[in-house]
Structure 1
Amino acid sequence: MSRTVTLVLVDDAGVSLGALPPYEVPEPWWQQVAAIVDEARHRHGVEVAVLRLLTADRPEPPGGHLTYLGQVATPPAVPLEPVSVDLSPHPLRAPWAQPGGPARSLAWAAGELHRLGRPVAGVAQQRTWNLSAIWRLDGPHGGAWLKQVPAFFRHESAVLRWLASAAPGTGPALLAADDTGRILLDHIPGEDRYAADHTERAAIAADHHTLQLCAADHAERLVTAGVPDLRGPALAGWVRDRLAPHDRSAVADLLAGLDDRLDRVRDCGLPDTLVHGDLHPGNVRGDGRRRVVIDWGDAFVGHPAFDILRLTETLDPAAAAPLLDAWAARWRADVPGSDPERAVDLLRPVAPLRLAAVYAMFLANIEPSEHPYHANDVPACLGRAAAEAERMILPG
């Protein structure tokens, strides 16, 4: 599967110049823009910074015919097609999605790297969408990554600072951060482990247990540093608030009993700790010698079972069972008297319910043109939560 891309160009003042002829790129995922930039350079000799998605011809990713907005420093020599697009400001537009935004962020990153004695020799835009903008910066002293995130992910830098002090090497090395959501990360060798097999997932789970056991003693410190507090009753209120604008009829009973269910989870005796929030193998990077967990923007302080449920989410029950059993055995050994299995059973429907609330939060904080990234995620997660609740028989 691929994408067909129409790239509408604006100048530094945000004035529309017209559109490049449509072209195809191999990456189907809408937020990936490296191939868009490369093809514009290769086909038309245009150096462009992709700002944001304008339109899509289908309701959700991947693939299709997409129209993006891109910025150029000078009008290109290639003839452009006249277009009519709405370029009016929007209060929820990300800083990196506005003309001049990428240049300002890259100037900040280059300045920080220069301060560290690491001059920048090359820059490559990798991703831009409502949740982040990412560039790779290369130089004679190694590569680095500039990541810029919205306000609801800005606690990622606080998590990375804590990891660096309490569990060195478990997260990306934070080189710099500011108060606008920009973080500068050292390059991690290897590749994202989307294709991790059962053995590697088991190793990820074991490593993560060690981290969570350590973080359980630092929960208050993490909350004070700005990591969201979703412990017990706070989680119930947070979920209900974010799902309020959406049709919740499929999970009405689950929501009504959520406080009681979370009380039962607390009675299982496991400590609250640092939760990654999106611990699938694609958020683990490795090179065969070490593994590093990346993308901590979804992190919160809460129940550790959410991460093992996410790590095993795409596995069939027979494949997931040994990972869940090992997870429970570790917690029983480290917290005598606890009941990890019961906690997992109670939280099975809560995990997709929480994800529905996460997607609802995204939708509430992004401009309408980017809603197709997430609009179908809310009802899909609510459906999964309802199905899990119907399947589970609560322990007495």
Structure 2
Amino acid sequence: MSRTVTLVLVDPTGRPLGALPPYDVPEPWWQQVGAIVDEARHRYGVDVAVLRLLAADRPEPPGGSLTYLAEVAAAPAVPLAPVTVDLAPHPLRAAWAEPGGPAASVAWATAELARHGRPVTAVAQHRTWNLSAIWRLDGPDGSAWLKQVPAFFRHEAAVLRRLATVVPDLVPALLAADDTGRILLDHVPGEDRYAADPAERAAITAAHHTVQRRAVADTERLVAAGVPDLRGPALSRWIRDRLAPHDTAVAADLLAGLDDRLDRVRDCGLPDTLVHGDLHPGNVRGDGRRATIIDWGDAFVGHPAFDILRLTETLDAPTAGPLLDAWAARWRADVPGSDPHRAVELLRPVAPLRLAAVYAMFLAGIEPSERPYHLGDVPACLKRAAALA
């Protein structure tokens, strides 16, 4: 599966210049823009910074015919097609999705690396969408990654700062951060471990237990630093508030009994701690010698079972069972008398319910043209939660 891409070009002031002829790129995922940038340079000799999605011919990713807005320093020599697009400001538009936004962020990162004695010789844009913009910055002293996120993910820097003091080998090194959601991370060797087998997932589970065990004593400091507090009743309030604008009829019984269910979870005796929030293997990067847990923007303080549920949710029962048993054994050893297995079963339907609320939060925080990224996720997660209840 591929994408057909049309780039509507604007200059650094935001003045529309026209559209490049459509072209295909092999990556089907809408937020991946590396191939878009490379093909624009290869086909038309144009250096672009992709700003945001304008339109799609299908209701959700991946693939299809897509129109993006992209910035160029000056009008290119290639003929451009006239287009009519709505470029009006929007209050929910990300800073990196505006003309001049990418250049400002790259300039900040370049200056921060210079302060580390690391000159930058090449910059490549990798991703842009409503949840993040990502660039790779290369130089003679190695590579670094610039990531910029919206307000609801800005606690990632606080999480990385704290974890660097207790488990530095398990998280990316934070080189710099500012109050606009920009973070600068040192390069982590290896590959994202989407294809991790059960043995590798077992190693991830063991490593992450170290993170959670050491974070138990840090919950108040993490909350004070801005990490969302979703402990006990706060979780049910948070879920209901975010799902209020959506049709939740399919999960009405689960929502009605949520407070009682969370009370029973608390009786299982496990402590609240730092939760990654999206602990699938693709958020682990490794090279065969070490594994690093990345993308902590979804993190919150709450029940540790949410992460093992996320790590095992796509596995069949015979494969997931040993991972859950090992996870439970570690917590029973740490907290004698606790009942981790029961906590997992009670939270099993709550996990997709929480994800529905997460996606609802995304939809409430992004401009309309980017809603197709997440529009189908809320009802899908609600349906799954109801089926598991």
Answer yes or no: same fold by TM over 0.5: yes
2:168 pairs with 1:168: yes
Aligned partners of 1:219, 1:263: CA distance in 2, in Å?
A: 19
Corresponding residue of 2:86: 86
The equivalent residue for 1:58 is 58
- Give the letter aligned to residue 210 of structure 1: T
Moved more, 313-322 or 238-247: 313-322
Cα deviations across residues 222-256 of structure 1 (Å, max 9, x unaligned)? Answer: 11111100000000000000000000101111111
State how far apart, in whole Å, the 2-side matches of 1:387 and 1:14 are. 48
Letter in 2 for 1:310: R
User: Equivalent residues in 2 for 1:309-324 (5 A)?
Assistant: 309-324=309-324
Shift in Å, 1:210: 1.2
Deviation readout 1:113-157 (Å, 9 max, x if unpaired): 001100100000000000000000000100000000000000000
Rounded Cα–Cα distance in structure 2 between residues aligned with 1:24 and 1:168: 41
In structure 2, what is the Cα distance between the partners aligned to 1:81 and 1:327? 57
Could you say which residue in structure 2 is the equivalent of 1:195? 195
Q: Give the residue type in structure 2 aligned to 1:345.
A: E
After superposition, what is the alpha-carbon deviation per residue over 1:172-203, rounded to whole angstroms, capped at 9, x for unaligned? 10000000000000000000000000000000
Aligned AA (2:323) = L
What's 2:276 paired with?
Answer: 276
Instruction: Tell me the amino acid that sits aligned with residue 24 of structure 2.
Output: E
1:226-375 pair list within 5 angstroms? 226-375=226-375
Q: What's the CA shift for 1:221?
A: 1.0
Residue 69, structure 1, aligned to residue 69, structure 2: yes
Q: Find the aligned partners of 1:13 and 1:236 in 2 and give their Cα distance.
A: 45
Distance 1:261 1:228 in 2: 21
In the alignment, what sits opposite 2:102?
102
Distance 2:82 2:132 in 1: 30
How far is 1:166 from its partner?
1.4
Q: Secondary structure at the match of 2:207?
A: helix
Residue 204 (str. 1) matches residue 210 (str. 2) = no
**2:225 & 2:12 partners in 1: Cα distance?**
37
State the SS of the aligned residue for 2:127.
strand
Report the Cα distance in structure 2 between the residues aligned to 1:156 and 1:38, rounded to whole angstroms: 30
* Aligned-partner Cα distance in 1 for 2:316–2:70: 42
**Deviation per residue, 1:279-317 (Å, 9 max, x gap):** 000000000000000000000000000000000011111
Secondary structure of the corresponding residue to residue 308 of structure 1: helix
Aligned counterparts of 1:168 and 1:104: Cα–Cα separation in 2: 30
Question: What is the CA–CA distance in structure 2 between the aligned matches of 1:212 and 1:153, rounded to whole Å?
Answer: 20
For residues 119 and 237 of structure 2, the distance between their equivalents in structure 1, rounded to whole angstroms, comes to: 47
Moved over 4 A (4+): none
- Secondary structure in 1 aligned to 2:5? strand
Provide the residue aligned with 1:393 in structure 2.
none
| Structural mapping, 1:125-204, within 5 Å | 125-204=125-204
Taking the aligned partners of 2:83 and 2:315, their CA distance within structure 1 comes to: 46
Work out the number of aligned pairs and report it.
Answer: 389
- DSSP 3-state at the match of 1:202: helix
For structure 1, the 5+ residue unaligned runs are 390-396
* Alignment-mate amino acid for residue 216 of structure 2: A
Please state how far the C-alpha of 1:211 moved relative to its aligned partner.
1.1
In 1, Cα distance between the equivalents of 2:216 and 2:54?
43
The root-mean-square deviation of aligned C-alpha atoms, in Å, is 0.5
Which structure 2 residues correspond to residues 112-131 of structure 1 after superposition, within 5 A?
A: 112-131=112-131
Q: Residue 170 of structure 2: SS of its match in structure 1?
A: coil
Amino acid at match of 2:12: D
Q: Which amino acid aligns with 2:357?
A: A
SS at match of 2:103: helix
State the shift of 1:69 in Å.
Answer: 0.3
| Cα distance in 1, alignment partners of residues 104 and 300 from structure 2 | 29
Letter in 2 for 1:121: T
Alignment partners' CA distance in 2, 1:139 and 1:208:
32
The aligned residue for residue 394 of structure 1 is none
CA distance in 1, matches of 2:122, 2:312: 38
Q: Matched residues in 1 for 2:371 and 2:222: separation? A: 31
Unaligned runs of 5+ in 2: none
3-state secondary structure, aligned to 1:169: helix
Q: Distance in 1 between matches of 2:229 and 2:3?
A: 39
**How far apart in 2 are the matches of 1:225 and 1:91?**
26
User: In structure 2, how many angstroms separate the alpha carbons of the residues matched to 1:254 and 1:216?
Assistant: 28
Aligned AA (1:79):
P
Secondary structure, counterpart of 1:144 in structure 2: strand
1:319-342, Cα deviation, whole Å (9 max, x unpaired):
111111111111111110000000
Measure, in 2, the Cα distance between the counterparts of 1:362 and 1:91.
14
